[in-house]
Structure 1
């Protein structure tokens, strides 16, 4: 079984003034496995303003402990539908940066409904996985993520 190893995971979501905060938080919670201890999750909501001065809240969730990161990655893989895996495989080079971070965006509304779906949209829940690979080069990370997705 191909395991994807990672240093940490970060989830980011924006709560617009017109959105229900609890619903967005519930959508974000879709991606957090119940097995992860609350102490292993760093949760923060920052308040900022949009381009036109509208209030926006930024939800940040970080998972740093290695056991919790593994649980998250295994859970995320189970959440990915076949067409999502195929999409990520087709666009993998665009989804990994030079520092070894793997980026995936999920439709916020579908996540709230319990049907997480990969979608490159602005109104998304962003998942950022800082992958462990040796040597740390984009090509090595792409290869590791590809093996994980294909399995």
Structure 2
């Protein structure tokens, strides 16, 4: 098989008051292919307050159009090193929910430095890929993602 299809992709992270917003946005841009049409990438930045009243910005990026999602998936797979793929493959049942969403976290700081590393950490860029599968069951999605990552 080797390819997966997805309905949409969401990229989410937080910008703390102590962080440089431009650097965080640059880190997120690592995951967006350069040849993707700007109209296919929907950016949303909301301001909120943390537990202690500190200002926090929540960044959500969404890619919905089929062609753009395919471009993203190809680009995303190319960003994964062997360790990242192995890490995801070992934890695939934990990384896919019952609705068929595949969750991956990358270390935000390392991504900004040009080394996107899959890591389940608090300071992360979270990628959510809503996988298309038939029948839509967790097992079907896990199998499709496994084949895609092992290719």
TM-score normalised by structure 1 residue count: 0.99
Size of the alignment, in residue pairs?
A: 151
Paired with 2:12 and 2:117, the residues of 1 have a C-alpha distance of 16
Paired with 1:40 and 1:27, the residues of 2 have a C-alpha distance of 18
Residue of structure 2 in register with 1:56 after alignment? 56
Paired with 1:49 and 1:138, the residues of 2 have a C-alpha distance of 35
Q: Does 1:139 align with 2:139?
A: yes
Summarize deviations over 1:94-114 as a string: whole Å, max 9, x none.
000000000000000111011
Paired with 1:114 and 1:72, the residues of 2 have a C-alpha distance of 17
TM-superposed CA distance for 1:80, in Å, is 0.1
Runs of 4+ residues over 4 Å off in structure 1: none
**Structure 2 unaligned residues grouped into runs of 5+:** none
Residue of structure 2 in register with 1:92 after alignment? 92
**Structure 1 unaligned residues grouped into runs of 5+:** none
**SS in structure 2 at match of 1:71:** helix
Paired with 1:107 and 1:63, the residues of 2 have a C-alpha distance of 21
TM-superposed CA distance for 1:119, in Å, is 0.3
Paired with 1:29 and 1:13, the residues of 2 have a C-alpha distance of 12
Q: Counterparts of 1:1-150 in structure 2 under 5 Å?
A: 2-150=2-150
Paired with 2:147 and 2:84, the residues of 1 have a C-alpha distance of 15
**RMSD of Structure 2 on Structure 1 (CA):** 0.6
TM-score normalised by structure 2 residue count: 0.99
Summarize deviations over 1:61-83 as a string: whole Å, max 9, x none.
00000000000000000000000
Paired with 2:11 and 2:133, the residues of 1 have a C-alpha distance of 21
TM-superposed CA distance for 1:25, in Å, is 0.3
